[in-house]
Chain A
């Protein structure tokens, strides 16, 4: 509840203060996989560690590959603010630390939710997040605990 509140407050701040650079996040974001994918639930810390490249998550012996959205999209800002508690600028600094110390590159970024949906249905290893209006029967919503 408190976290939810903090997230809403930071969204408000983002929306009010950064209208120019960060679009106000109004969309509801869902973490999704293909309907036949083995992932059904993830802890919040697993989700965060996978997206920040801190750990490789194996489910049934298969590596879960996170998909990102391109920088500057409202869904992306909402996802990172809500699930990692970090702003896009903090995520950028995080990846600068990873890239320039040889620890790897950020997840592959696709242009929009539609592109993420298409990738997920063709690749059961992938994990993505989308605007809830793009949810269809080929996908399964991952429960985040």
Chain B
């Protein structure tokens, strides 16, 4: 469906753009862009630190200083056709699972404003699961070099193809926005893909004076083709294999995500924080994450500090099949399966981190940010690091130093 919606948006933009620039009224076409040029150094040499868990390489093992973790470019066309109908297409180029920077469509939708405060959209959009998830790729618009992974990794936030509704309303001097969405999407990675279907979410945001409050809840049905084969293998082991497969299987089960966030920003300083919890009755298990960031503004400088924590609240080990009960070739097979299962359920993010940084808004639309992160991983946790080499030991501490130039135009 998104393909049709994308084509519709593209065709509308191309056919309408001819008549545009001549006069100032409608239809009106705007072009905007954003980007980051960033480098990251990690002192863990046996694995890669990545901002996007589906990227193929990052900083540490693949590169001492990597320019591929945070660098990206986004371009957007916004077309307003009538006072009620508008369309947005946004394309983002960043490091992908296949190692390329091939551009991908992040947003492509048509919006109909029923009233100035009620709008409906169809096409590709981004879930508003977290307080900054819709603009998480626009580093210029967030205080940090990248959103705290302890919260933002709980769910691989991705765009979805579907419909959504946004309703704004006033409540005394508070302005509110309620958002409902329904759809599905998929994320590709090196050896497969993760598909989400029947996903829905609701989020609510209130701006009251200097305070912003955010809450969201969502559910999605996840399926991962690689895991289906893994559990089919378990099923070959009779009733006890069946039992394990149905306990840990991902396909067809619903994953739930809940998030609460708040910020207070009187201008000269700000504080913001979020708490989120994800749960799935499968090997994805249950986890919690939270962060808090405090920043102070001195002219065009914004130094900030943050703390974050993520933990897995479900079991991280499973005895699995009793290998002693099976004849030789099956016994080894059972051990291999148990090994993989335990590796999967123990790979959840469990860590604490401290972030210290400073942003310099040195000219309009441009900012330079330097950030230091100290990540302390709990025993057994690999903190979302990828390309782990045989010498890599989970549960250690890593230090990151990042420098990024963010811009919008």
Contact = CB atoms under 8 A, between A and B. Distances in A.
Interface residues of B, number: 43
Given A49-B175, A86-B267, A88-B364, A99 B116 contact: no
B186 to A, nearest CB: 21
Given A55-B170, A89-B367, A100-B32, 10 more contacts: A17-B298, A17-B300, A45-B209, A54-B168, A87-B297, A88-B364, A96-B141, A99-B32, A99-B78, A100-B134
A21 B363 CA distance: 7
Nearest to B30: A105
A143 B138 CA distance: 37
B210 A102 contact: no
A86 to B, nearest CB: 6
Contacts of A72: 364
Interface of B: 30, 32, 34, 74, 76, 78, 88, 90, 107, 109, 111, 116-117, 121, 125-126, 134-135, 137-138, 140-141, 168, 170, 173, 175, 207, 209-210, 266-268, 297-300, 361-365, 367, 408
Q: Which 5 A-B pairs have the closest CB atoms?
A: A17-B299, A85-B267, A56-B116, A89-B361, A96-B141
A96 B297 CA distance: 19
A119 B284 CA distance: 58
Given A55-B170, A56-B117, A101 B364 contact: no
Contacts of B107: 102
A105 B364 contact: no
A90 B365 CA distance: 10
A10 interface: yes
Contact of B76 (A71, A89, A99): A99
A141 B196 CA distance: 54
Contacts of A6: 267-268
11 contacts: A10-B267, A18-B300, A49-B175, A55-B170, A87-B297, A87-B300, A92-B408, A97-B135, A99-B78, A102-B121, A102-B125
Interface string A88-119: 11101110110111100100000000000000
Contact of A100 (B74, B125, B209, B365): B74
A40 interface: no
Nearest to B83: A63
Given A45-B209, A89-B364, A55 B299 contact: no
